[in-house]
Structure 1
Amino acid sequence: MSTYVRRIVDDELDDLFEHIAAIAIDGPKAVGKTTTAEERVDGLLKLDSKTNREAMQADPELLLRRVRPLLVDEWQKVPEVWDVVRRAVDADPTGGQFLLTGSASPAEGATAHSGAGRIGRLRMRPMTLTERGVTTPTVSTRELLTGRRPPLDGLCSLSLVDYVEEIVRSGYPGMRHLSARALRFQLDSYLRNAVDRDVPETGITVRKPDAMLAWLRAYAAATSSTASYSNLLDAATPGQSDKPSRSTSIAYRDALTQVWLVDPVPAWTPSGHPLSRLAQTPKHHLADPALAARLLGLSVDALLDGDGKPLGPQAGSMLGRLFESLATLCVRVVAQAADAAVGHLRTRNGDHDIDLVVVRDDGKVLAVEVKLATTVADQDTKHLRWLADRLGDSLLDAIVIYTGPNAYRRRDGIGVVPLGSIGA
C-alpha cells in the first residue's frame, strides 16, 4: 500500500502532464523529485546507476525502447538524453510521455537544444508547512490573486517556537524523521557534498572548496537581504587583505544556483506602472532556511535567544530573516501552483521595501509583507499602503504574514494571515 504524501506540485502535474509530452522537474537534491515523479510513470531509468549511465552514454537512443510514461532520473549525468527526448517529442507530441528529474543544470553546451517548446520545466522546492503536516491552511493564495479581496478567517495553532523549530527542522522529506544530532550531521554532509561533489559534477572546477563554503556561510548571513557581493566576499574572508575578485563571488553564486542550492528572489520590475527608482538586486535565499541556520550554527534555542549577526542593508534579527525565508519558501510554492511569479520590491534609497510581490500573468500583483510578530500595527502596513497608492487597481490584494493565531482583515482592507494558514 502506497504511503506517498501528495505535494503541492502534484496538483500542477495533474493539470499539465496529460497535455505536455515531456516535463523536467528541477530542484535541489533530496527535495522529493524522484518520489513524486515515480507516482506517475510505468518506466524508470536511473542515471545515477553506473550500468545505466554507461549504456546511455554509448547509445542514448536506447531510452526510447523503454516503457512510457518514462522517468529519466538524474538526466544531467548523461545530458545527451535531453536531446533524445526533445527529438522524440518533435516526432510525437502526445502528452504524458516523459518526466525528467535533475538536481543540477548541466554545463553550458552539454545539450544541443534548450528544449523550449518541447520540454516543460517545473520547479520543486522543499516542503511547505502544509506539506509537512504541521498545519492546515485556511487562506487560499489562488483566491487572493483573484482581486476579490475575500473575508479572511481561521485559527492557526502554530506558535513562535513551532515556527523556529520548523526553520531548523528543514523541508527535505528524508530529514524530517531524524533526531537533532542526526539532522545536524545530514545538513552538514549535504552542504559539504554540494561543494565537493555536486558543483564539480556540473563541469565547474572548485579550486578551493572551503572558500566556497565560507562564501556560502556569508550568503546565509545575508538571508532575506540584498547585500552586495562585495559585502559577501568581505564577510567570507575577514582579515584577509588579498581577497577574491567580485567575479569569483559571482562564479560561486552561479555554481551554487546551478545545483539549485541558492534560490534568490528577483527584484520585481513592473511595466506600465508609475514606479521608478527601484533597486534591481535580488534578495538572497538558500533552498531551505534550515541550510542557512546550520551554516550559521544556529539552533532553536540560539535563534530564540537572538543569536546570529545578519549581513546586509535591511534591519532585523537573524530569526526575523529566517522567518521571512521560511515564508518565502511557502509563498513561492503556492504561487507557482497558482501560475504566478514571485519577486520583491525595494526602492534604491531603501525607503520602501515590499518583501514579496506575487505577480499574475497580466502584471497585477498581490503584495506581501512578512513580520516576526504576533500583532500587526499601522506601522507594519505603511509600505503596503504606499504601494496601493501607486498601483491602484493593479494591486489585487495586500497581506501581512505574521506569527499570530488569527487570519482577518484590518479596517483598511489589508489582510493579516498567520504563516501556517497560507495555502494554495
Structure 2
Amino acid sequence: MNNYRRRIIDSTLDQLQPHLRALSIHGPKGVGKTATAAQRAASVIDLSLPRQRELITADASILTSVPGPVLVDEWQRLPEVWDHVRHAVDAGSPPGHFIVAGSSAPRGAVVHSGAGRIVPMRMRPLSLAERAIETPTVSLAELLDGTRESFQGSTSIRLADYVEEITASGFPAIRPMPARVRRAELDAYLTNVAQREFPEQGYPVRKPEVLRAWLAAYAAASSSTTAYSKILDAATAGLANKPAKETTVAYRDALSSLWLLDPVPPWIPSHNHLDRLARSPKHQLADPALAARLLGLDAPALLRAEQGSPQLTEGTILGALFEHLTALSLHTYAEAAEARVHHLRTRNGDHEVDLVVVRPDGRVLPIEVKLADRVEDADVKHLNWLAGRIGDDLLDAVVIYAGEHVYRRRDGIAVIPLALLGP
C-alpha cells in the first residue's frame, strides 16, 4: 500500500517534471527526497548500493536504456553520474526522463554545474501546513498577488502547540515518534553528520566535540546575524588551542553542502529605495528541532521561558526558534509561488524586518514574526517604515503571530496565526 502524503513541492513537480529533461531534488538527508521522487519514477537506480555503482561505472548507458522516468538516487555516491546525466540530456534524452536526488558532490569532485540541463529544486523538512495540524485559511500566493483581499479564520493552536512543532522536527520519519525517541533520533542524526557525512564529503573531523560545540553556538545564534567570529568564540570558550579559522570555515562549507544550513539571505532591493543595508545572512539550520536539540532544550524547557541558557541572540531563544519555524515554512510556500525569502536590516540596526518575501519582479511582502497572542503598534513600526520607503513595490504587509484570529489592523497590516498560513 502506498501511504505517501503529497508535499507542496509535488504541485511544482506536476507542472515541470514532464517537460524537463532532467531535474534534481536536493536537501538534507531525511526530508523525503527519495519518497517524493519515487512517486514519479518508472526505474530507480540507487547509488547507495555498491552493486548499482558498479553497474553504472561499467556501463553508463543503463541510464538511458531503462524505462523512464529514471530516479538516480544518492547521486553524490558516484559523482561522475551527474555528468553522465548531463551528456544524456545533450544527446537528446526525452522530456521527463531524469530525476536526480541527493546532496552536493564531495569536496574535490569535478562536476559540471548542470546549468541549462539539470534544473535544481530544494526540498526542506515539513512545513507547518504539510504537518496537517491545522487547515490554513490564508494563502501566501494570494498575499503575493497584492490584491489585499479580506480573509478570515481562527485556530485553537497555541504556544504549547508551536513549541511541540519546534521540537518534534519536520523530518517525516522522526516526527511521529514519542518525544524521547525523537530526541535519540535527532542525536543520532547529528552524530552521523560528524562521523559519516563529513568524511564522505571530504572533511574528516578530528575533534567531533569542537564541531558539535560550533553547531550548538550556531544554533544559539538562530534567526540572528551574529558574526561567524562570535560563533567561533562562543563555541571554543575556555579552549587553549582554538581551531584555526580555516577549520570552522570548512565546517560551514561542509554543512552547507549537506544542506544542513539554511540561512536567510539579506534583501538587496532592485530599485534604489534604500541604502546602507546590512548584507549578513540570518543564521538558521535545516530544522529548528536540530537547533533545540543542540541546545539541550525540549518542549518543557522552552516553555519554562528562557532558563538562562547560553545564547547569542537578542530576545529569547524560543522567539528565535518560532521565527525559524516560520521561515522554514515560508521558504516552502514561497518557492511554490516562484518567490524567495530574505530579511532586511539596516547597517546601523535601527530598522529590521524579520522576513521579506520577494517576487521575481522585485515587489515584496514584508513579514514580522511575533511570539505573542496579540499585536501592538510597536510591533509594526518597521513595516510602516518600509511601506513609506518603497511605495508601490509593497504588495502587502503581515505580522505572523501565535494568536487565535486572522484580521487586518486599522492601518491595513494583516495579522495571521502561523498555523493558518499556507501556500
TM-score band, normalised by shorter chain: over 0.9
Aligned residue number for residue 14 of structure 1: 14
Q: Secondary structure at the match of 1:60?
A: coil
Aligned residue number for residue 51 of structure 1: 51
User: Between Structure 1 and Structure 2, how many residues are aligned?
Assistant: 422
1:421 aligns with 2:420: yes
Which amino acid in the other structure matches residue 205 of structure 1? P
Aligned residue number for residue 153 of structure 1: 152
Q: Secondary structure at the match of 1:339?
A: coil
Q: Deviations over 1:325-366 (max 9, x none)?
A: 000001110000000011111111111111111111111111
Aligned residue number for residue 334 of structure 1: 333
d(CA) in 2 for partners of 1:229, 1:334: 29
Q: Secondary structure at the match of 1:370?
A: strand
**Post-superposition offset of 1:278:** 0.8
d(CA) in 2 for partners of 1:113, 1:258: 16
Cα contact 1:233–1:249 (8 A) shared by 2 = yes
1:224 aligns with 2:220: no
| More deviation, 199-208/16-25 | 199-208
TM-score, L = length of structure 1: 0.97
d(CA) in 1 for partners of 2:99, 2:308: 41
Aligned residue number for residue 168 of structure 2: 169
Q: Deviations over 1:263-318 (max 9, x none)?
A: 11111111223211111110000100000000111011100112353633x52111
d(CA) in 1 for partners of 2:215, 2:308: 15
**Post-superposition offset of 1:107:** 2.9
1:209 aligns with 2:208: yes
**Post-superposition offset of 1:378:** 0.6
d(CA) in 2 for partners of 1:188, 1:423: 30
Query: 1:363-378 to 2 correspondence within 5 Å?
Result: 363-378=362-377
Query: 1:256-271 to 2 correspondence within 5 Å?
Result: 256-271=255-270
1:118 aligns with 2:85: no
Which amino acid in the other structure matches residue 9 of structure 1? I
d(CA) in 2 for partners of 1:308, 1:381: 28
Aligned residue number for residue 72 of structure 1: 72
Q: Deviations over 1:52-91 (max 9, x none)?
A: 1222233333322222101011011111111111111112
Which amino acid in the other structure matches residue 43 of structure 1? S
**Post-superposition offset of 1:27:** 0.5
Which amino acid in the other structure matches residue 190 of structure 1? Y
Call closer, same or farther: CA 1:416–1:310 in 2, change over 3 Å.
farther
Cα contact 1:106–1:203 (8 A) shared by 2 = no
Name the Cα RMSD after superposition. Answer: 1.3
TM-score, L = length of structure 2: 0.97
Q: Secondary structure at the match of 2:395?
A: strand
Cα contact 2:79–2:111 (8 A) shared by 1 = no
d(CA) in 1 for partners of 2:392, 2:94: 40
Gaps of 5+ in 2: none
d(CA) in 1 for partners of 2:352, 2:94: 45
d(CA) in 1 for partners of 2:154, 2:171: 26
d(CA) in 2 for partners of 1:310, 1:381: 29
Q: Deviations over 1:184-242 (max 9, x none)?
A: 11000000101111121112232222211110011011110111111111111111243
Cα contact 1:152–1:415 (8 A) shared by 2 = no
d(CA) in 2 for partners of 1:31, 1:146: 29
d(CA) in 1 for partners of 2:31, 2:159: 25
Aligned residue number for residue 406 of structure 1: 405
**Post-superposition offset of 1:320:** 0.4
d(CA) in 2 for partners of 1:40, 1:65: 17
Q: Deviations over 1:361-418 (max 9, x none)?
A: 1111110110000000110000100110111000111100000011111111111000
Aligned residue number for residue 388 of structure 1: 387
Query: 1:172-251 to 2 correspondence within 5 Å?
Result: 172-251=171-250
Cα contact 1:20–1:93 (8 A) shared by 2 = no
Cα contact 2:139–2:422 (8 A) shared by 1 = yes
d(CA) in 2 for partners of 1:157, 1:45: 45
Which amino acid in the other structure matches residue 182 of structure 2? L
Cα contact 1:61–1:81 (8 A) shared by 2 = no
**Post-superposition offset of 1:9:** 0.5
